[in-house]
Structure 1
Amino acid sequence: MIGAAADVLRVGNASGFYGDRASAVREMLEGGELDVLTGDYLAELTMLILGRDRLRDPCLGYARTFLRQMEDCLALALDRGVRVVVNAGGVNPAGLASALRELAERSGTPARIAHVEGDDLLPRATELGLGQPIAANAYLGAWGIAACLRAGADVVVTGRVTDASLVVGPAVAHFDWQRSEFDRIAGAMAAGHVLECGAQATGGNYAFFTELAESADLTRPGFPIAELHPDGSSVITKHPGTGGAVTVGTVTAQLVYEVAGPRYAGPDAVLRLDSVELTPQGTDRVRISGVRGEAPPPTLKVSLNSLGGFRNEMGFVLTGLEVEAKAELVRSQLESWLPARPRELRWTLSRLDRPDAPTQEQASALLRCVARDPDPAKVGRAFSGTAVELALAGYPGACLTGVPGEGTPYGVFTAAYVDAALVPHVAVLPDGSREDIPPAPVTEELKDVAEDSADPPGPEREEVRRVPLGLVAGARSGDKGGDAHIGVWVRTAAAWDWLARTLTVAELRRLLPESAELPVRRYLFPNLRAVNFVVEGILGEGAAAQARFDPQAKGLGEWLRSRHLDIPTRLLAPLDPGGEAGA
């Protein structure tokens, strides 16, 4: 048992990404009661960054910010009796664990450090048919974390585990769950998915933030806590007196974030997102219950990060009249003047200008040209210098947004899947002994829940107004490789009936023309009054390749909310800021 009480385990979060609020660890340790403090430092792009760090120095490859946080707070965590579980080990968890032991010895803090390894498949990439990436990491599960905690670890460092495993592992160790208890494991997965992005569960990045601000201070949102129970249910909350808010709306927003269909697969269980039930339990308290789980698939997902080549970018400001003609002149000049054409030249014209504008900026459009090539010379000053040479020979009012510079390397993310039996999963315990974690004993091939492609019944004849979707619907979006995920939810039963009938794949393509020629999948989550879309390929080769100006699709959902369509006037009445309406 980890915490003081057998019937509840209080797990907090202090990081949602590499670069999150550095003071959050101290804030969470000092802000109230906790049994475990977790931190998620990894994302697809982060693995590329850490992989490149390791190429430069084999001793690196972990999140150095966490080490600095422990310099400040390791003794505090031990004094408070709080276990720390993080994936800050990146591509070198053993290196971070060693650095933490040195820190503990240097500071006279008797911390017991453990780590989980086995996810790094780079040495076996060719053998496993994974190509020649610079980082290849399998998503491990929770049982290695649990083994470390059962052995008395104060700090557990992992590499690439699933984000939810940081919460599932402590729950397994505390409640002594068995590997076949899929409903309970899936319940902890749901709580872990809510916690993993930190303040996104307490009002950060929240679609209805202006409503929330009427009753909550959003200046500095607190970080979330999950109170886990033996049956796998949980209550999401935060420390008293911290900023932000926890509502059904904020929890829903995080549950639909970066997921595809109703089956959310992990290495220890499959979480049925369509079973999740949310219930408000007072101020800043939302209960997650009813969660069902299934056996995990027999394969593990592998994150592959490779160097895709080199890129450079130049921007041209086009002011006033004849913007389209000016853009065409720039394009024809640059492409004909280049001494060697890069493999890819991608042009984007953003019509930010408007007629008879009161300021010069409002009268201007932005033309961007992105060059990519395996040869850095083709996208270096040969490219950017040529763009500058157009300054006195091109369109009237020529203005560039940057200066000439060399190209920079960019990464490509791809996902692969390998038999779980081929991936070692090892818990390195505080005494240095090693415990092999076997793969899941019971697995099932992942059954895809069919996307919702049926033509819904036509809308009823009623009074409508043509207004932005965001007046009735929230959204949160993000990236998975080259795909974008957009979760859209509403807050009443009447709005859900309308949303499910109206926001079809065809309507999404109309509202977001950039998706018109791409494969789009739609899934329904009636319990959450949410619909999720997967737009395949809109991010090209992934966030690191920067195919779009918003390479991680974080603003895609807000663009969707800003688009106008016919909405029944009966749905446009104001709702309470907490989003708890049930009518």
Structure 2
Amino acid sequence: MLRIANCSGFYGDRLSAAREMVEGGPIDVLTGDWLAELTMLILAGNRLKGRPGYAPTFLAQLEQVLGTCVERGIKIVSNAGGLDPAGCAAAVAGLAGRLGLRVKVAHVTGDDLSGRDLGDAPNLDTGERLPSAPLTANAYLGGRPIAAALSAGADVVVTGRVTDAALVTGPGIWRYGWRPGDHDALAGSVVAGHVIECGCQATGGNYAFFGEVPDLAHCGFPLVELASDGSSVVTKHPGTGGLVSVGTVTAQLLYEIASPRYPGPDVVARFDTIELEQQGPDRVRISGVRGEAPPDTLKVAINYVGGYRNTMTMVLTGLEIEAKARIAQEAIWSRVPRESFEQVHVELTPLADAVPPPRTVPLSGTALLRITVMDPDRKRAGRAFSSAVVETGLASYPGFYGLAPPGDASPYGVYWPTLVPAGTVRPRVWLDGQELDGQELDDRRFTAPEHDGRGSGEHGSGGPAAGDQGCDGREGLPAPRVAPVAPPVPPAPLEGPETGQDGDGPAVRTALGAIVGARSGDKGGNANLGVWVRTAEQFAWLSGHLTVERLKELLPATAGLEVDRYDLPNLHALNFVVHGLLGRGVAAGPRLDAQAKALGEELRAGHADIPRALL
């Protein structure tokens, strides 16, 4: 087995995680994901201010473990290079020198397309044409350049924008020699990479049934034991908090996906073929994953400056909340006309309902009235707006107060996904500052040297790499049109007096969350919402009950939007993609929940008539 550990799920994750993973038990490869769509924009801003275009927190973690990794032969693979992989690699080499260590450092480039004429690149989600010059433009590379770096002898590999799963697929290609046609093995590695890419989300973090998770405050990071056929076991180090169960793994599998076909640069992984098995405490086996040839395009994430934004939030308390919100807006727009701004977004969010149903008085409790304005003119969106809100303080609704003083507008970025032909993007691999020649990079097989067991302590990882094994991440690529693999057939709905199918037979009116788990998130301007249950009988009910129409009833914010539903009966799960809920992406999104992280919990709070036999 190749033991691949994760020590970071985002730029800002727990700094002690690398040390915990290296010292907590045997591993062969230490990986970490530092990049999200928003992170590239943050790094661009840092670079404009003269700061590094990579994630310096990676170096802080590395300083704690580099010596131990060199001693044990643990490889390190990270996308912390961001917009400057070469600069990050140089910083790693400098750190190694200060620590008195001899380390071979590789970095991967070729993802940066900002100098290329992308024209009016069509938006992958909306079809619109790019309206402005890019601030950043990065293609999502796959795992093969990482494998080339490791095959050339690199101890540390730093990349720019690669798919999140490539951090696992690359080491898998290196160790087992998978060829491009080994679709099933590659797909299995993509699924394993998708599970651990978000750190503790695979080990009980952000889990719907959090009451089942022991010692969440000390949640351990995940690792996978990756086999030569692409199957894997998800686990964590002994003695750490958290939980690895079929439920926690299912939750992460549903995170930020769309169709069950999950395309990437190396392979299309079929999420509707995944089989999960609880092998023991904190051990879940993933097997059966089928793969298909990747598309002939790569996704490119573009960011450009969209204008300026400003937000003011007022608190509404007591009776007649909606009437107070109307009065507040009338007072504000009388001072600064609403139509003078390019965009205005108003969000009324109840925080507490003091009057339980059935109500005999108008809506009461506490709510937030959040108003965001966006405009190309910084002055118009700045204090001209926020000061106007404050000016209404003594001439507005009773109980008026705000959450922040008047402030200036700030620039915001727009995320713009598009596609380019894969053949027009050339990955480049550098080792200790020297570029590997094309022959090494284009080699269709990568074979790791015979493993000496240092990375796994006394347990080892077993023998030389395999040769032929038979035959990110999606990151928003469209699914290729190929013959489908038949998914498992869901069981027939329950029959008889205990079914309670939408009113037939005994049922209990209760929250969906009594049996339904959920996880939601962002992918550009769209939101993904995955829901699952634990048994085939519960799934038979859920698949019939939770239609797109019913979802829109339970989540009013989705009512006027296009929603796709995908069934994954092998996981007892449904996945919904809500198009356009997040506007132009996280950086430009005016919603209070700009990344749709809470959308799943909002759905679970909705009520349904659930058959008593399923509770």
Aligned partner of 1:194 in structure 2 is 195
Residue 43, structure 1, aligned to residue 36, structure 2:
yes
Once residues 379 and 371 of structure 1 are traced to their aligned partners in structure 2, the CA distance between those partners, rounded to angstroms, is: 6
Assess if the C-alpha contact under 8 Å between 2:502 and 2:609 holds in 1. no
2:519 is the counterpart of 1:476? yes
Select which of 256, 260, 270 maps to 1:258.
Answer: 256
Q: CA deviation at 1:526?
A: 1.0
1:127 and 1:181 map into 2 onto residues whose CA distance is: 36
Cα RMSD between the aligned structures? 2.3
Q: Distance between the aligned counterparts of 1:406 and 1:440, measured in 2?
A: 54
The answer to whether the 8 A contact 1:125-1:132 is kept is no
Give, in angstroms, the shift of residue 67 of structure 1.
1.3
CA contact (8 A) 1:125 1:136 kept: no
| Distance (whole Å) between structure 2 residues aligned to residue 167 and residue 470 of structure 1 | 33
Structure 1 counterpart SS, 2:216 = coil
Q: 2:603, 2:479 → 1: CA distance?
A: 34
Q: How far 1:556 moved relative to its partner?
A: 0.4
* Larger displacement relative to structure 2 (8-17 or 335-344): 335-344
Paired residues of 1:524 and 1:532 also in contact (CA < 8 A): yes
**Per-residue deviation, residues 257-290 of structure 1 (Å, max 9, x unmatched):** 1111110000010000001000111111111000
Q: Find 1:509's aligned residue among 543, 547, 552.
A: 552
Q: Which residue of 1 aligns with 2:481?
A: 447
Aligned to 2:455: none
Structure 1 residue 431, shift from structure 2 partner: 5.9
Letter in 2 for 1:87: N
Deviation string for 1:93-141 (max 9, x for gaps)? 1110111111112221111100110000001044684651111000000
Return the offset for 1:513: 1.2
Counterparts of residues 11-90 of structure 1 (less than 5 Å): 11-57=4-50, 60-90=52-82
Q: Equivalents in 2 of 1:85, 1:447: separation in Å?
A: 33
1:349 equivalent to 2:352? Answer: no
Match of 1:559 in 2: 602
Distance 2:118 2:301 in 1: 15
| 1:291 pairs with 2:310 | no
* SS class of match (1:124): coil
Residue 158 (structure 2) pairs with residue 157 (structure 1): yes
Q: State the 1:435 CA deviation.
A: 3.8
Pick from 383, 386, 393 the counterpart of residue 385 of structure 2.
Answer: 383
1:543 alignment counterpart: 586
- Matched residue type, 2:247: G
Kindly report which structure 2 residues correspond to 1:330-341, keeping only aligned pairs within 5 A, or say none.
330-338=328-336, 341=340
The 2-side partners of 1:259 and 1:448 are apart by 19
Q: State how far apart, in whole Å, the 1-side matches of 2:406 and 2:478 are.
A: 54
Whole-Å Cα distance in 2 between the matches of residues 137 and 127 of structure 1?
15
- Structure 1 counterpart of 2:83: 91
Aligned to 2:568: 525
- The structural deviation recorded for 1:445 is 7.6
SS state at 1:479 partner: strand
Q: What's the CA shift for 1:449?
A: 8.8
What secondary structure is seen at the aligned counterpart in 2 of 1:122?
Answer: coil
Supply the distance in 2 between the matched residues of 1:440 and 1:487 (Cα, whole angstroms): 36
1:397 has 2:399 as partner: yes
Aligned position for 1:4: none
Distance 1:431 1:399, change over 3 A: closer
For structure 2, which runs of at least 5 residues remain unmatched after alignment?
122-129, 357-363, 446-470, 472-476, 494-500
Deviations 1:164-202 (A, max 9, x none): 000000010001111110100000001000010010000
Alignment of 1:130-529 (within 5 A): 132-210=133-211, 212-213=212-213, 216-338=214-336, 341-355=340-354, 363-430=365-432, 432-436=434-438, 437=441, 446-447=480-481, 461-529=504-572
CA gap 1:238/1:488 in 2 versus in 1, 3 angstroms: same
Shift of 1:326: 2.1
Query: Which range is displaced more, 102-111 or 139-148?
Result: 102-111
1:8-28 deviation line (CA, Å, top 9, x unaligned)? 100000000000000000000
Query: In structure 2, how many angstroms separate the alpha carbons of the residues matched to 1:170 and 1:435?
Result: 20
Change (3 A) 1:552 1:444: closer
| Cα distance in 2 between the residues matched to 1:445 and 1:351 | 39
Q: Which deviations, in whole Å up to 9, do the C-alpha atoms of 1:281-307 show, x marking residues without a partner?
A: 111111100010000000000111111
Contact persistence 1:151–1:430 (CA under 8 A): no
Q: 1:365: Cα distance to partner? A: 2.3
Distance 1:448 1:533, change over 3 A: farther
Q: Select which of 101, 106, 128 maps to 1:109.
A: 101
> Could you tell me whether the CA contact under 8 Å between 2:568 and 2:574 is conserved in 1?
yes
Instruction: Write the distance in 1 (CA, Å) between the matches of 2:557 and 2:337.
Output: 32
Number of the residue aligned with 1:576: none
Q: Distance in 2 between matches of 1:439 and 1:521?
A: 40
1:39 partner amino acid: G
Distance 1:42 1:125 in 2: 24
C-alpha spacing 1:481/1:356, structure 2 compared with 1 (3 Å): closer
Please report how far the alpha carbon of residue 409 of structure 1 lies from its aligned counterpart in structure 2 after TM superposition: 1.3
Retained in 2: the 8 A contact 1:141–1:165? yes
Give how far 1:439 is off: 11
Count of paired positions: 553
Structure 2 Cα separation of the partners of residues 420 and 80 of structure 1: 37
Identity %: 54
> Do 2:517 and 2:532's aligned partners in 1 also have CA atoms closer than 8 Å?
yes
Q: Is the 8 A contact 1:421 1:439 kept in 2?
A: no
Assess, with a 3 A threshold, how the Cα gap between structure 1 residues 390 and 111 changes in structure 2: closer, same or farther. same
AA in 1 matched with 2:381: V
AA aligned opposite 1:428: W
* Cα 1:566–1:339 shift into 2, 3 Å: closer
Residue 185 of structure 1 aligns to a residue whose secondary structure is: helix
- Deviation (angstroms), 1:502: 1.1
Partner residue of 1:581? none
Contact 1:510-1:516 within 8 A present in 2 as well: yes
- Secondary structure of 1:337's partner? coil
**Structure 1 residues without counterparts, runs of 5 or longer:** 1-7, 573-583
Aligned residue for 1:351, secondary structure, equals strand
Distance 1:399 1:110, change over 3 A: same
- TM-score for the superposition, normalised by structure 2: 0.86
> Which one-letter code corresponds to 1:566 in the other structure?
D
State the secondary structure of the residue aligned to 1:531: strand
Q: Is the 8 A contact 1:126 1:132 kept in 2?
A: no
